[in-house]
Amino acid sequence: MRKAVFPGSFDPFTLGHLDILKRSLPLFDEIIVGIGKNIEKKTMFSESERISFIENYFSDEPKIKVQSYSGLTIDFCKENGANFILRGIRNNGDFEFEKAIARTNRKLSKIETVFLLTSAKTSFISSSIVRELILNKGDFQLLVPDSVKIS
């Protein structure tokens, strides 16, 4: 079974994340969206809201599961029997950062990282841009799936 973990904070889940997940569905039998807990990161949305955004969008897709975790991503992968980490790459900066993490993960485990380039139409989207739009009452809905709601 080809099982992958797609880790991130997903604060919030964007059309860029959605693009990577949709395009990776044919590659894996199961994808666990791993919402990492990072005590150094202040999030805008609660863990349950972030889980809900993704679960609501993919409610009819049995290949996608959503879980939160803390600690190392490779440990989360091992706990869940995942042999791949899925990452999206928007630009050269992302690649250089992700390459170092992927090499470290491979050195510490047998888990391979699979990179997908973001689509041109979503390559400019980041969660931090979306949060900035939300804080300043901008039209963020153009950058997130319909499942992302602000209460």
Which one from 3, 22, 90, 99 is the annotated catalytic residue? 90
Active site residue 22: no
Does 148 map to a domain? no
| Domains held by the chain: number | 1
Question: For residue 149, which of 44, 42, 32 has the smallest C-alpha distance?
Answer: 44
Residue 122: domain span: 3-143
- Long-range contact pairs involving 135-144 (C-beta distance under 8 Å, separation at least 24): 143/14, 143/15, 144/12, 144/13, 144/14, 144/15, 144/53
CA distances (Å), origin 86, targets 28, 36, 94, 113, 126: 10, 14, 13, 6, 17
The single-letter code of the amino acid at 66 is V
68 is catalytic: no
Q: Is 149 a domain residue?
A: no
CATH code assigned at 137: 3.40.50.620
Percentage of the chain beyond pLDDT 90 is: 93
Residue 75, domain member (yes or no):
yes
- pTM assigned to the model: 0.94
Catalytic residue among 17, 24, 50, 87: 17
Is residue 50 annotated as part of the catalytic site, yes or no? no
Of these residues, 24, 50, 87, 127, which one is catalytic? 127
Q: What is the pLDDT of residue 42?
A: 87
41 in catalytic set: yes
Pairing of strands 30-37, 64-70: parallel
Per residue in 34-72, pLDDT (tens digit) is 999 877 778 999 999 999 999 999 999 999 999 999 999
Q: Is the Cα torsion angle 40, 46, 49, 55 positive or negative in sign?
A: positive
| Active-site residue (options: 41, 42, 107, 137) | 41
